[in-house]
C-alpha cells in the first residue's frame, strides 16, 4: 500500500473509531521515554502511542 493509499483511508478509519465500530486501547507514553516504551508491557489489544513532550 502506498502512502497516498493509507492517507486516503484515514477519514473512514476515523469515522469507524468515532462510531465505536473499532475499539482502540491506546497506552500513551511521552516521546522522551521512547526507550522505555520499547519494552513496556501491554495488555492484549493495547497499543503504545508515543506522544509529544509536554
- In angstroms, rounded to a whole number, what is the distance separating the alpha carbons of residues 35 and 17? 28
Range of the domain at 52: 23-54
| Per-residue confidence (pLDDT) for residue 6, from 0 to 100 | 93
Tell me whether residue 32 is in a domain.
yes
Tell me whether residue 9 is in a domain.
no
pLDDT value at 54 more than 70: no
Tell me whether residue 52 is in a domain.
yes
pTM, whole model, 2 decimals?
0.59
- In angstroms, rounded to a whole number, what is the distance separating the alpha carbons of residues 23 and 38? 22
Tell me whether residue 43 is in a domain.
yes
How many structural domains compose the chain?
A: 1
Tell me whether residue 2 is in a domain.
no
Q: What is the pLDDT of residues 2-51, one digit of tens each?
A: 999 999 999 999 999 889 998 889 999 999 999 999 899 999 989 999 99
Tell me whether residue 15 is in a domain.
no
Tell me whether residue 18 is in a domain.
no
Amino acid at each position: 500500500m502506498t502512502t497516498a493509499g493509507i492517507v486516503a483511508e484515514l477519514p473512514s478509519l476515523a469515522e469507524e473509531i468515532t462510531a465505536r465500530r473499532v475499539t482502540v486501547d491506546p497506552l500513551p507514553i511521552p516521546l522522551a521515554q521512547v526507550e522505555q516504551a520499547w519494552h513496556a508491557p501491554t495488555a492484549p489489544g493495547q497499543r503504545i502511542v508515543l506522544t509529544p513532550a509536554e
